[in-house]
Amino acid sequence: MSLEISSVGEEGSGNRGFPSKCRCGRDVVIYTSSSKKNPGRPYFRCPTYQDDHLFKWVEDCVYEEVVDAIPRISIIDSEVNNAKSEVARDC
């Protein structure tokens, strides 16, 4: 699939991470760019692509997922350390 499209900003729309649905309600599809500017670069897009529909690079989705996971990982790490402390006290 060859498209020369620049990313439509998702900031502030609450659509972080991997999209499954477009704003119009349709399932998004993953495509691979074959443009000269972005060869082989995967992206999500609404199959009825129009300017106000979803378009998002996959690496942007991955970045958002990682950033959003960091606080949860920190909480889990803290809980594990607290559990280890409790076990050490009981021994």
Q: How far apart are CA 63 and CA 42, in angstroms?
A: 14
Does the residue 55 lie in any domain?
Answer: yes
pTM, 2 dp: 0.66
Percentage above 70 pLDDT, the chain: 85
Q: Where are the alpha helices (DSSP H) in 1-91?
A: 58-90
- 20 part of a folded domain: no
Q: CA-to-CA distance for 8 and 57, rounded, in angstroms? A: 9
- 18 domain residue, yes or no: no
For 50, the domain range is: 29-90
**Mean of the pLDDT values across residues 16-40?**
94
* Domains contained in the chain, number: 1
For 57-77, how does the pLDDT look when each residue is reduced to its tens digit (9 = 90+)?
999 999 999 999 999 998 998
